[in-house]
Amino acid sequence: MTMSNTENEDAKKAAAFLAGFTSSQLFILMVSSGSYAVDRFMLPRSCIGLYINRTIIAFRLSTFIGSLLLNIPVLSIEEFKKRLDIVSTVSIWLYCLSFLALLLIYYNGGKKGHIMYYYCAIIFASIVYGSNNVCLPAVIGKDMPFYVGSIQLSAVMVSAYQFLFTKIAKAWMVTNIPYKLIVGQLSLVVFVSGISAILWSVAYAGKELNGGSSSFSGISKAISPIMLTTLGFGMQNLFYPAIAPYKFIGMGPGSKISMAVLFTSTIPGMTIFAMSQYSKGPNSQWKG
């Protein structure tokens, strides 16, 4: 039984939305759960800044490696570029499995856990995340606003989950909150990423992409986006490793700043998503 054009388009939009929602979960997990992870692995509270700093640095470097490993064949092998539908499907399933590995490692290990295995799982997930950043947007195409909008929405959802879980757990006098909160969060991420992978396989797998220009012939058009992205991430990394790891401030203010950043960072993406639904976004031609 084949899907109609309308059903196929709806499936693609839903797949793009869920792919974006799960895409940023790894970084949000590291930023929002640093204090809980330190308690889980029985590290001194004074190590919170060091823990978050090390995980963010590992995330950035591993993401770069993952992006580079996929960018090289995409830019140099025409046939590889045409089969990004298959590559993206494999990559999104690996991303789901990496969250499952994080859940199993965090859940097991007794009182002290396996922090080294957890750190290695973060590195692997970050490499897959980097490859996702290359292949998923290339396949999504015109449904990109759904992908970007859901990335921003996921930060709000995670913040709301942690806030409500903490309040309810304290009201019901639940013990070992840092352990149970992250186990619950990772369980939800595994479930959603699994649904996302299934939906992506249905919507995009087996749909060959058109070739487009080969090699580096379009690099001149990409200079501006490259510079803007470099500036944006450069400014983010200037502040995040300094403030989020609580190097200059205490645990309380640092946590509030992290939550404020997660909420305010959703505004640009959600604005673009809303504008795109009314043909006023970057996906439409602006006429002055």
Our measurement of the distance from residue 68's CA atom to the centroid of its chain's CA atoms, rounded to an integer in Å, reads 17
- pLDDT value at position 48? 78
C-alpha span between 67 and 138 (Å, rounded): 13
C-alpha span between 52 and 26 (Å, rounded): 13
Whole-structure pTM value: 0.83
- pLDDT value at position 103? 96
- pLDDT value at position 283? 64
- pLDDT value at position 141? 80
C-alpha span between 63 and 133 (Å, rounded): 9
Compute, in degrees rounded to 10, the torsion defined by CA atoms 227, 228, 229, 233: 110
- pLDDT value at position 111? 85
Buried (b) or exposed (e) across 107-126, using 16+ Cβ within 10 A?
eeeeeebbbebbeebbbbbb
Block means of pLDDT (10 residues each) for the chain, 288 residues, are: 68 90 88 84 82 85 91 84 89 96 93 92 95 90 82 81 88 87 94 95 77 54 65 63 58 68 74 75 67
- pLDDT value at position 83? 86
C-alpha span between 105 and 126 (Å, rounded): 16
